[in-house]
Amino acid sequence: MISRRAALQLTVAAGVSATSVTLAVTDPARAAEAGAFLHGVASGDPQRDRVIIWTRVTKPNASTAIPVEWAVAEDEGMKRVVRSGKALARPARDFTVKIDVDGLKPGATYYYRFEAVGGASPVGRTRTLPEDGVRKLKFAVLSCSNFELGYFNVYREAAKHDDLDAVLHLGDYIYEYAPGPGGYTSPAAALGLVPKPRDSKLLPKDEIVLLDQYRARHALYKTDSDLQKIHRENVFINIWDDHEVTNDAWKHGAENHQPETEGSWRARKTAGIRAFYEWLPIREPEDRDIVDPATGAPEHLYRVFDFGALARLVMIDTRQAGRNQQLPVDRMVAAYAGQPPEGPFPVDVNPNGSTRTLMGKAQEDWFAARIAESTQTWQLIGNQVLMFYQNAPDLAGSRVLSAAQKAGFNGVIDQLFGAGFSAQLGQLGAAGLPFPLAADAWTGYPSARIEMLKTLATAKNPVVLTGDSHNAWTAHLNLPTAKGLERVGVEFGGSSVSSPGFEQYLLGVPPEAVSGVLVDSSRRKSPSDRLIYSEQSKRGYMLVQVTPAAVTVDHVFVSTVFTKGYTTEAKRFRVPVNVKRATTPVA
């Protein structure tokens, strides 16, 4: 018998490299036109005086370092060069190149280019952070881009904005699954109700576990022309979620990692994180074991970006830095049952008796300090998993569903989770207890969620921007206290680039009915937060605009990701300044 891990190692030895994968899926004419820069260019992690620029050099059969020249200019024609230099694309870094370009002006647009192997890269555009006099900002906020399940129409649509100050990617930039029925397959896809448009092109052909496989998967994604375009024209600020390594990851393991067949969790996590750093324009401090005051813990990627006096963006890491293992559903429910909404939660403890955490103590302290010291008008929080309290849907008490819809909803629930599950869900919904599917989100960490709300209660105008769920949400965040609810902020959860939402699971139930019952149940049964909007069937992104007076968020949706043609629609919300005291916090 040969173990799965040993088989994977043999596969890698047989030639699963980033270069071979990329060339295998790329049209020969396009590969010839791209030359050495088949994966395009990118920039990221802007500061007032510097920015990271990135590329990857493709040279078949290369085994030694490749010389690279780079330049940054004030004009697209690359005539007014302000910074330039030389670098090496090394095999040890999978021939990727990252330059931390310093000596730049605040709030300025720059253009950059690389040269290697006798050719030049496309010209990229980037921006530094502004310093003074900022009156408006605009961001595109994205998450959950699954290559095989759909075209990246959302990236293409977001890239149409030529005035973005940054693109925020909140995680699940890649997915780890294999193609075919054993990979990421929703019930709708399994039944042939929706296609998996690029499943046959997904490489490597097995679930990725080893470093070369993670590199090859990143390389595949970077062949997508829509992803290349949005990178080329905008500066990115990335954070990871779970699928950059594997599903439902926590500090010491993951739901989708089996040590007996896939080896050491630490080795797999290290491989996924290393490939992430190699293939994305992210600043890497020299010593990742030191908690840097400006960047947080570099290995864990949480960090701060200040946009003048208008907004502070805090990118937190709820996945890799310090997350304890998710609770089984029965223990999660028991953690809330019979307890006041503000806690304490005696069941919410680790085996050693310590209180469970989503971010880790070091990051919690770091985050609280960054919030306390901020003088900016707005605090934008880049967050992976939904923060608002997700109570189970109360189908029986709902007035937005007909009797027939309730019966259909319950039937689908029993088909998905087993006979009798709908009755259990009904009991949870009637009591305002947590939704079982929320164990991986902030709801599954009740003590940590209350502590986060307490910190946000001290913040000036906090707005939480969230990825992960593949659906769109807008919610009021309220801190429960002995005296009642204290409004602390607003959360906007964005839909996905291409990963499926509830519509591919709750088959036969109209998506608008799902949205309606979730919003209605939150209004009637939630002991704290209030969900006011949900969209359960469309892929999309968030367009966030910031002024001294308000933050405006558009949930932008594309009509399909199964073909390259699409239409768009949007739902707009406006959050006024001093949101905690506003009569209408979200309009």
pTM (whole model) above 0.85 = yes
| pLDDT score for 508 | 87
| pLDDT score for 286 | 57
* pLDDT greater than 50 at residue 4: no
In degrees and rounded to multiples of 5, residue 313 shows phi and psi of: -105, 120
pLDDT in tens, 280-306: 999 986 544 434 444 444 467 899 999
φ/ψ bin of 566: left (φ > 0), alpha (ψ from -120 to 50), beta (otherwise): beta
> What band does 11 get if pLDDT is binned at 50, 70 and 90?
very low
In degrees and rounded to multiples of 5, residue 237 shows phi and psi of: -125, 110
pLDDT in tens, 453-510: 999 999 999 999 999 999 999 999 999 998 899 999 999 999 999 999 999 999 988 9
| pLDDT score for 96 | 96
Distance CA 386, CA 384 (A): 7
* pLDDT greater than 90 at residue 13: no
| pLDDT score for 443 | 98
Render 543-586 in DSSP notation, one character per residue.
EEEE-SSEEEEEEEEES-SSSS---EEEEEEEEESSGGG-SSS-
Render 296-358 in DSSP notation, one character per residue.
B-GGGT-EEEEETTTEEEEE--SSSSSPPPPPPHHHHHHHHTTS-TT---TT-B-TTSPBP-S
| pLDDT score for 8 | 41
Percent of the chain with pLDDT over 70: 92
Contact predicate 381/461, CB 8 Å: no
Render 265-280 in DSSP notation, one character per residue.
HHHHHHHHHHHHHHHS
Whose tokens are 């908690």? That residue is 291
| pLDDT score for 24 | 67
Distance CA 39, CA 20 (A): 13
- Looking at the DSSP assignment, which residues form a beta bridge with residue 83? 72
Beta strands in 449-493 (DSSP E): 462-466, 472-481, 484-493
Distance CA 83, CA 85 (A): 7
User: What number of residues does the chain have?
Assistant: 587
| pLDDT score for 212 | 94
* pLDDT greater than 80 at residue 126: yes
pLDDT in tens, 522-569: 999 999 999 999 999 999 999 999 999 999 999 999 999 999 999 999
Higher pLDDT, 30 or 94: 94
Amino acid at the residue 5 = R
pLDDT in tens, 170-211: 999 999 999 988 899 899 999 999 999 999 999 999 999 999
Contact predicate 400/522, CB 8 Å: no
Beta strands in 495-567 (DSSP E): 530-535, 539-546, 550-558
pLDDT in tens, 314-355: 999 999 889 999 999 999 999 999 999 999 999 999 999 999
Distance CA 498, CA 560 (A): 9
* pLDDT greater than 90 at residue 581: no
Amino acid at the residue 573 = F
* pLDDT greater than 50 at residue 3: no
* pLDDT greater than 90 at residue 582: no
> What band does 585 get if pLDDT is binned at 50, 70 and 90?
low
| pLDDT score for 5 | 41
* pLDDT greater than 70 at residue 63: yes
The rounded mean pLDDT for the chain is 91
Residue 34 burial (CB count, 10 A): 20
| pLDDT score for 272 | 93
* pLDDT greater than 80 at residue 64: yes
Task: List the end-to-end C-alpha distance of the chain, in Å, as a whole number.
Answer: 62
Closest CA to 560 of 187, 241, 152: 152
In degrees and rounded to multiples of 5, residue 254 shows phi and psi of: -165, 150
> What band does 438 get if pLDDT is binned at 50, 70 and 90?
very high
> Mean pLDDT over residues 116-133, rounded?
96
